[in-house]
Amino acid sequence: MKSAVVLVSGGLDSATVLAIAKAEGWECHALSVDYGQRHKAELHAATQIARALGAVEHRVAHVGLGLFGGSALTDASIDVPIESTGGIPITYVPARNTVFLSLALAHAEVTGSDAVFTGANAVDYSGYPDCRPEYLAAFEAMANLATKRAVEGSPIAIRAPIVRLSKADIVRRGHELGVDFALTVSCYNADAAGRACAQCDACRFRREGFATAGLPDPTRYQPGVT
């Protein structure tokens, strides 16, 4: 059985990607990254998702991206906006996907994996440069010059199976594959219990996705928000 590293954030998108990788027959090494994000409830969710979807292991890598600041997701002095402003949003974390994919690449090399799966999505996150297909292709080209394993003839594929799907299509695909979305946390402002704010971009995309897909939305919200 071929093995893959799957980046699992705790959110809806990467849970669906893990289910897709499992359905394709990969042995899945789930990897999450604690990068100093506000929404730590995601990491707890990731552990539950990895277990529920049958990953062979789940590891949490630690990297202090908060050292650099520059994003509402890692800098407590910048508020998470409740409305989109157009352009690249302040929730963009500089080079985040590059750092995450690099860590996944290291884990892929050590585990002898042939692929890294990411939940990058270019539809809802069109403002994040490191979610676009051309970026992912360039990362793959670099990765195949970067590692011992690749240089010795075993290339590593960077797989982004939902990169071009709408949120509704991701919800439908995850639903078909039996993902328990109640375990997932997408909100940028989630509380310690993983309950969502209903106002940030991530909440809005998620809610619209369930509505458009015509599927029940199991998201738990914080008291007093609707």
Q: Which is nearer to a copy of itself, 81 or 129 (CB)?
A: 129
**SS3 label, residue 4:** strand
Closest approach of Cβ 42 to a copy of itself, in Å?
Answer: 18
Return the structure tokens found at 116. 């890294």
**Which residue in 170, 42, 158 sits closest to 100, CA to CA?**
158
Q: Is 96 in the site for a copy of itself (CB under 8 A)?
A: yes
Contact present, 172 and 215 (Cβ < 8 Å):
yes
Decide: is 142 part of the binding site for a copy of itself (CB under 8 A): yes
Q: Judging by beta carbons within 10 Å of its beta carbon (0-12, 13-18, 19+), is residue 194 exposed, middle or buried?
A: buried
- Closest CB to a copy of itself among residues 23, 142: 142
Site size toward a copy of itself, by CB under 8 A: 43
Q: Is 201 in the site for a copy of itself (CB under 8 A)?
A: no
Q: Please tell me the distance from the alpha carbon of residue 75 to that of residue 39, in angstroms, as a whole number.
A: 12
Asked whether position 86 contacts a copy of itself by CB under 8 A, the answer is: no
Of 77-85, 149-157, 166-174, 175-183, the window that binds a copy of itself (rule: CB under 8 A) is 149-157
- The token pair at 113 is 């994996």
- What mask of x and - would describe binding to a copy of itself in positions 53 to 72, judged by CB under 8 A? ------x-xxxxx-xxxx--
Binder among 151, 182, 193, 211 for a copy of itself (CB under 8 A): 151
10 is in an annotated binding site: yes
Q: Does 76 bind a copy of itself (CB under 8 A)?
A: no
Identify the residue among 4, 7, 12, 109 touching a copy of itself (CB under 8 A): 109
Of 176, 186, 183, 214, the C-alpha closest to 20 is: 176
Give the three-class secondary structure for 161. coil
Query: Is 15 annotated to bind ligand?
Result: yes
Q: Does 148 bind a copy of itself (CB under 8 A)?
A: yes
Stretch that binds a copy of itself, among 17-25, 107-115, 168-176, 188-196 (CB under 8 A): 107-115
Distance separating alpha carbons of residues 179 and 157, to the nearest angstrom: 24
Task: Let me know: does 187 contact 148? Beta carbons within 8 Å.
Answer: no
Is 146 a binder of a copy of itself (CB under 8 A)?
yes
